[in-house]
Structure 1
Amino acid sequence: MSVDTISDCGCCSGVEVDTPSAKFNRPGLPAIAYRVGTHADFRQTLLSRLSSTDYPALAPLTTRATDDYTIALCDSFAVLADVLTFYQERIANEAYLGTATERRSVLMLARLIGYQLAPGVAASTALAFTLESAPGLPAMAAQPVTIPIGTRAQSIPDPNQDPQTFETIAPAAARVEWNAIPAQQSEPVPFRKGLSELYIAGTTTQLAAGDGLVVVGTDRESNSTSALWDVCWIARVDIDLAHDLTHVVLSESLNGAWDPNDPGPQGIKVYAFRQRAALFGHNAPDANLIRTTSNSQLFEPTSDGATTYEWKNFAIDTTSKKVDLDTAYPKVVTGSWFALAGNDSGGTRHVELYRVNDVVELSRSAFGLSGKTSRLTRDGTQNLAAFSRRETQVLAQTDELTPVERPLTYPVYGSTLVLDELQPLLVPDQLIAVSGKRQRVVIGAATSGISFPDFPGRKPMPGESFILRSPPLVVLNNGVLPAPPELLDPARGSKRLVLWHLEDRDGAPIDIKAPINVLKLQGALKDDAVVSEIASIAHGPLSVQSDRDRTTLTLKAQLSYCYDRSTVTVNANVAPATHGETVGEIAGSGDAAALNQAFQLKQSPLTYVSSTDPSGRASTLQVRVNDLLWHEVPSLYGHGRLERVYAVRQDDDGKSTIQFGDGRQGARLPSGLNNVRLAYRKGIGTSGNLRAGQISMLLTRPLGAKSVVNPSAPSGGQDPEALADARTNAPLHVLTLERAVSIQDYVDFARTFSGIAKAYGIWIEDVRARGIYLTVAGPNGAAIPQDSATMTNLVGALRRYGDRLMPLSVQNFGAATFKLKAKIKVDADADPEKVFSAVTDALRAAFAFDNRAFGQPVTIDEVYATIQNVAGVTAADIDQLYRTDTGPAPSEPQARLLAGLPDLKAGAVTAAELLTLDHAPLDLGVMS
């Protein structure tokens, strides 16, 4: 028989044994190989046994045809073995935390080490209520309205969103006068020596440069010898239409005997002199020209032995209170003021103020003159010897002006907030909502001294407007310091060099280094958006301080924005709230004869809120049996037979089940009809992380409540834990054992805390900032506000379960992005549109928040590999690769983009950065 004939008969098939095959799994694989063979391997092995000399009885069976009964039986066994080994491998994979793919497997494996998959946590925010201020509710102004616990508000959904319900979790006092408290808009002008400007109410004062003003204190009104007055002249007048006032700049500052502690214009009056006059006889003929021997009795020598003469009684009578003006002035009335101004023989200027006690009009003839005159009776005769009839100027006909406080134009930021009203009923730890538009600055006509640290080649453009992104810094020789808001006041005339953190018209951040007087403060534009935030009054007796007109608040943290002062309002009718809606139900009836009774919640998901527990969450479920409250415990194990406790387990589909004790570990339920009653809230996850202002529908309306809004975006909402996160977090739970000792413990503790998606920690040894510094990020890269429940509870938990004396700082990560421009060559047989879409998806997935770590750089090789791994891509060429915050795109792609890690700079520790792909559309082109 030929070889071909032997091969064709198939009797030599299956000459090798392929099962069981040896398996080796290296560490770190996402799945383990456990099957000893497949259908083909088992069939091949069985056929090899038929040809083996170990089984001589089977030697006569030479056929290998598939329709032979023996071969068919072998094939059937191979199918059975294939199925069994497939599921055996799946079972083996499900037995390990790192390779399990079923949520239930991960859940049960985690329970073996005392870890439960996190059910998620509800978002938290604060709701600001506006009370009805309509007539008919006068009592509300005197008595506070209480916003009770459980007040519900609902969001207005955006496209592809569902309405979300939030409920207040603490009562809050509310008042009508707290609806919109303005920030301080002006400050008192202290009338003291050195004052060189006044602010007068109104814009139609008809004041002009050169006019005279008189400032009179109350003491001068009743005491003619009092020095509490000043006569001054106007150097410049500015009309301020925005504040409806007139700004008057004096040619000389006040030099009177003013009280340096005087807080403002109370008791001070300001008058404008509307008439300039002279004394009667100021224009009398020169006596030396008309004196003759026949009229010599009308004249007298100017001094003993003098040969020059003057009219008799021409000198001002220093004993008489009568003053005759050069003509009749009918508008000079009793009770007004007039001033004499003139120079003495030595050239020294003298001014004296008098009150008009009486005024009469009469005709007078003297000094060779005759005519009508206004005779004024003054209230004193002091210092008359300093004046002469010819040289003295009379300022009269006073018109009272209304001095007002100086308007403030510098922005509102920092941790101190001064209200423009007296609000002494505000209390420490109270929440407030601050709203307004952000402050703008504009480059003035003079651009000397302006530089752009990040863009050295950029030229300043006069008139270009920017938004103040964060508080500016004063540049010093050895670093920078925060600039207090009042330093930006134009009235101070400061020329300090400042580093301005700004935002251009495209919303891009930009820094400018320039003197304060070069960049001008500019009011918010009409189209600028109103921003809001929640702040908390600091704890302590000095956090709320009131004077006679205003209340000053000290806040727990710095304000997030720099506000245009004229737009700022404060709403103090604020209550904390969390995502979820309260429901109540009857779970069922207790049976004292039953062991471990269990009831499933009819509605899901059960709401968990942020807390200071090591897990970072607390259930909202309340269980009452026969009206007695029972308490939730992580496990019934170890609890006494009479303890009223229960445990909650959550299924894969999010359903929650309550399990009670068996009389040995935890008490049994007492018998009763429908005696198990539940109260809980439903709603959880990232669906509650809404935008600011989206919660605006009141579902329950407390007395007097008109409307509601969330000034800041809800934060901290987290979906139930995913399998990938559980594989990472479950071992961390064992490593920390709910304690934080080392730096890694602090990181692991924070990473497993509800509402925290990523964490990074570092120890700073430098004495200027010694301590532990954690950088955290919320789900999907969301920022966690410093005053949010998640951040507050995390810090509280770390101090509670860590070293209380250890300096600790927790801050948000630095969100950095990069852009790229690339050309792609698509396979001729591929659909270009689908390939470009797949490349975009691959890049966004590879460089998304979930797949990046703090401080992880982006390399050009990594980008190339991501693009070229897409099916249909034959070649790629990256033209640009750069960080978004480094300015214009460079001509050549950078080989490596770095992400910063915490570092001590200028006395402050920076946060870790996480570098992701920018959200802007990708610039992908076709390679020729």
Structure 2
Amino acid sequence: MSCNCGTDAELNCRDDARRRMVRAAQVNGLDYLEVSDDQRKLTVYFLGPAPEGIGTGNIEICGGVRERDIAVIDVQLCPQTDPERDNCIVVTVDRPGDFSTYCLCLVNLPEDAPFDPRYRCLEFSFKAACPSDLDCQSEPRCPEEVTPAPEIDYLAKDYASFRRLILDRLAAVMPEWTERHVPDIGITLVELLAYVGDYLSYHQDAVATEAYLGTARQRISVRRHARLVDYHLHEGCNARAWVAVGTSQDRTLKARDLSFVTSFQEAPAPAAGVPDWAPFEAVPENRYEVFAPLVADADAPIALRVAHNKIRFYTWGDRQCCLPKGATAATLVDGTPPAPGEPAPDQAQKAELERSPDTPPASEGTRTLHLEPGDVLILEEVLGPKTASAADAEAARQVDTYFHPDANPAHRHAVRLTGVTPSVDPLTGQPLLEVTWCEEDALPMPFCVSTIGPAPECALLEDVSVVRGNVVLADHGRWQPEDNLGCVPHAEEDPVCVAEGRAADVALRVGRFEHAPIEGPLTFTTPLDPGAPASLSLRQDPHRAIPCLAVRSAPHAACVADGDAAKLPAGGEPRDWTLVRDLLASGRYDTHVVAEIDDRRRARLRFGDGRLGRAPDAFSQIHVRRRIGNGPDGNVGADTLTIAVHATPINGLVLAPRNPLPAEGGTAPQPVAEARLFAPYAFAEELARAVIPEDYAEIAARHPKVQRAAAELRWNGSWYEVRVAIDAFGAAVADDDLLAEIHTELSRFRRIGHDLAVRPAVQVPLDIAMTVCVAPTHLRAHVEAALRARFGSGCLPDGGLGYFHPDAQSFGDDIALSRLLAAAQAIDGVESVQLARLERLHEGPNGELAAGVLAIGPLEIARADSDPNAPENGRITFAMRGGR
């Protein structure tokens, strides 16, 4: 037999069944061979035992392009140490071959040798072990038949053109069918296919339109495009309000069971109890708005106390008092004083009171307030300071919810307590409560506590302003009953034959879950910050708001085709899903879900795919519980939330809620056009890296306690150092804690190669002298007092800031002579002003008066405290002339 590998070259089989048949019949043949690294040795394996008498004359190698006639110079049997390995021989050739295909055959074998003729030759390559980027798998020699594609008119895009195209095609393939009558079944099918084609063509155009931010029309598409550049298209957020709940009994209720409803014409008549939702079922929901307590835990208790309905200010026996603008502390009346004849508490008793305020001495009186840090109080003016009479004041004392019609509704303010300290008036034994709140909640206006009423009574009016307790933070929206969105389908792969008589295992996969849209408008709200100041608790960033939607999945037998619960996959369990804005940061096991809002304010859920977020289990049902109420509809006015509703009616308890302050924060969804306009530039709005000194100053100024920052780049002899100066709110010099905090924050943005130094601003004390001529009709002392207040470092009686207040001067603010003269000339009684001195303290004049300005450096702040205890902080003096 000659060397010939082309016997079966035209036959390409994927399943080599004959190989198994040869092994079973104990007939020998060549199985495969391996080429050594030097390409001089070929290890040839057999289907059976290697023949012992085989030599160089029994092996022939043919083929090749450049290297032909490869000679066999030696044949050796392989040493066998493992009985499981196939028998083989090692064939040594005289030289390596080229990159073409060679053929190794067994020749000159005895006629009785049991060798199968199909396995006498092997095709191989000497370069099989050479590195290659190509797949060694050979292409199949039996490709699928390619049918000619029909001629398609790609300009056909609507119903009429599709109908004509189909009829033209049918005329070519079915020339015998010539029916064109409309009722014909063939024409009906043609028109049906044309309609489907028209719909698919529209869908194709719509997909192309939604592929770009500039052309997208659907809200969901614009939202996803904007998210790619880190811009969030917000869906608005709900409103929040402070609700003061008047109560007839001391009672503790669960937050999830209590709601507040705005007053409306068809509201049920008040009863001697707290109603449930039954009286509201016959009233359309669009006639009223619902607010619910906003707490970290829905099962959290809300303690209501009668003593907190109205709390009085304590004036220590003084009269005609007021809390000034900017106040952050007050003294409250806590209960009743001791009975007449009982001695006031001595020092030992007061010390015992401070150690155990819950068990006061007998002579102290009775305490009724139960306030703690974190509680919210509302200061409210209930009497008209100029119009209320003594009878009005008596009525206000008798009724907890009374307020005079002439009381200013703008004089209401909420504060969150930061400190609560019980005390006692040593003169009267009256129990007191000293309360404080943070600077963010400082009073924006003065609150009158007591005053003289109108003539002719001219009576002393007390409790002009009072404090409301039992304050609950509530937000807009009402929870709806649970909805069933249906089952998560499963998708089985089509069975695939992996061998003759054996199919591959069919994997159970989660199918595409589609559900009916969830009707809205869904409530969107931001996470609650329990410790935020009261003045900031009503404000929300709509870009951070997430929908109020409770999503739960659980395996259910109803999702199986025949309802057999035994077919449910093992390991399925109920899961609660967390609402997130997107799945970009979700892991494969995170139970996150996104609620996307369409143009009709309906929500659609999007779960993960197993890589970005967990996919819901197949055969599970999805249940959702939604909250309805969002946007500006919740921005109700003051004193409109007047109805309390409980999950179950409560007899004997009377609740009188009211919101002294209007609800705020309700924001409408962001228009798509606005997002399309702002999104391309959103990534450049917030500075994320400091490169030049101005970048350091801008990042430092983001801190809420920093009024302004300045920076400069200096060479310190070895490398560059960025020096950042800080001007803090309400302080002349920033404290060390603030500087350390800003240094830590700036280190995240620092440029490589820059050292960083954060320091307080350089204070420049000034020495200013003015000569003031006072009008003859004014007292010099009064005018001088007004000038000192105007050019002082404190706050003015009207709430303004003094000229040299720490918050009025900042980096690089030059002191202009003209502005000083204008500020002095604006004081009533000043006839003329002359600036006698304008210079830096202890440095002498440097031409400031002639130039009309005292220059301040970029890291410097002017200062003139005029404090005799600290003369080094600058001064301003007045030489008063004229007047009386």
The verdict on a shared fold, with TM-score over 0.5 as the criterion, is no
State the TM-score, normalizing by the size of structure 1: 0.35
Q: TM-score, normalised by structure 2?
A: 0.37
